[in-house]
Structure 1
Amino acid sequence: MKPVDNSARSWAPRAGLVGAGWVLAVAATAGAVLSVRFGDRPGTLLLTVAALALLAAALHGTLLRPRLTADGTGLLVRTLSGTRRFGWHEVRLTLSTVRRFGREVTVLEVEPLDLQSPDLVVLGWTELGADPRDVHEELLALRPA
């Protein structure tokens, strides 16, 4: 019998954040329907675009759960193009801090070392549901020496 690996960890967008996205998508859709009824064309356009954007974000947060899973053998990353499995020796994990909208944002970069698969995955706080620095530390602790 194979021993159970209890060291597996996973990260996903916070359920409350995804739930808020769904609630706001429904509210924006209701607002768009009401604005059609009252003949407010600019309002209809604005609320329809907002509803579609919120719907896409909420759907993304719901379907791609968990975004990142790690255990002693490697990483599992879920993206829109599918689920990718990487052994620890196949990826480079780096933290990048960039300045966006006047504040510093830290992201975790999962970079495949295989040149045939140059898909860089960038995960921030919203995708991980946790600070990328903390996730990076946990991943380094899980990674075999």
Structure 2
Amino acid sequence: MDNSSPHWAPRPVLVGTGCAAAVFAIVAAVLAGDRMSTVFFTVAAVALTALSLHGLLVRPRLTADPRGLRIRTTTGKHDLDWPDVTARVRTTRRLGRDAATLEIEAGEQLYVFGWLELGADPRDVLDTLTALKP
């Protein structure tokens, strides 16, 4: 996979906002006046730090080229050949809104991506993948 291949990852501004919120939560946990606030801000800081680190370290999340796909997860890189891949968009209705997810199935593995992980609409990503698939 080269750098000219289309790739998708969380938007940098979103990851940066998560990092800033994590720093704010850490400072709030240190300065909190009561035990309950300290616990709340500590839990928030841990969650925001974990999510922000994931967004920083697992980039790009999905890469495609004429040979196949590369998916990065916390357990490493997974290279998938096009003949082994089935990709589709699943739309569900939640809280009065349609939520689309990109599902990539390869053998026994199922990878599910939302717009936060891709930094783009899953329908647009599927269109690009369909155009690349031989």
The structural deviation recorded for 1:100 is 2.8
Q: Which residue of structure 2 aligns with residue 121 of structure 1?
A: 111
Runs of 4+ in 1 over 3 A off after TM superposition: none
Q: Which residue of structure 1 aligns with residue 74 of structure 2?
A: 80
For the pair 1:17 / 2:17, whether they are aligned, the reply is no
The structural deviation recorded for 1:56 is 0.7
Taking structure 2 as the reference length, the TM-score comes to 0.94
The structural deviation recorded for 1:82 is 1.5
- Tell whether the 8 Å contact from 1:68 to 1:78 is kept in structure 2 after alignment: yes
Q: Which residue of structure 1 aligns with residue 30 of structure 2?
A: 33
Q: Distance in 1 between matches of 2:51 and 2:3?
A: 31
| Structure 2: runs of 5+ lacking an equivalent | none
Taking structure 1 as the reference length, the TM-score comes to 0.87
Q: Which residue of structure 2 aligns with residue 139 of structure 1?
A: 129
The structural deviation recorded for 1:72 is 0.5
Q: How many matched pairs?
A: 133
Q: Distance in 1 between matches of 2:3 and 2:12?
A: 23
